[in-house]
Amino acid sequence: MHEFSIAENIIEIIKQTVRASDLEKISSVKITFGKMSNVMPEALHSAYKLLIEDTPLSNSYLSLENSPLIVKCNNCGSIHVVDDFIFNCRDCSSSNLTVDGGDEMRISNITLTNYQE
């Protein structure tokens, strides 16, 4: 399951991005991933939850947002959102397309609570 290594990478990026003293203040981490990124949301949630146990991130929540698959026709220049994985241009029927979005994965937001003990 490659979601486990993805979750490890997410946690490592968080640790490099957020000061160590603020890690326990993280309430949520939002991941945006495309339809073609081959991420299984349930598996990523499970892996993240398992990996943050007994760490400063243990109270954080992983939020996942799916980004659309966008293709650009190399023949006519049209740009379309693809829902059904049929890779033909809607305008000229060409299959000469380039993926312009929907194959990425990124941390799009880290939310910290502002509580004091």
Q: How many domains does the chain have?
A: 1
Q: What is the CATH number of the domain that holds 97?
A: 3.30.2320.80
User: Residue 115: is its pLDDT beyond 80?
Assistant: no
- pLDDT at position 90 over 60: yes
In a domain, 78, yes or no: yes
The 10s digit of each residue's pLDDT in 17-65 is 999 889 999 999 999 999 888 899 999 999 999 999 999 999 999 999 9
Q: Per the domain annotation, does 103 fall within a domain?
A: yes
Q: Which domain holds residue 50?
A: 2-112
Quick check: is 97 in a domain?
Answer: yes
Per the domain annotation, does 9 fall within a domain?
yes
Domain-located, residue 102: yes
Is 117 inside any structural domain? no
Determine phi and psi for 57, rounding to 5 degrees: -90, 5
Picking from 4-8, 72-76, 111-115, which range would have the lowest pLDDT averaged per residue?
Answer: 111-115
DSSP labels, 51-109: HHTTSTTTT-EEEEEEEPEEEEETTT--EEEESS---S-TTT----EEEEESS-EEEEE
Within a domain: 32? yes
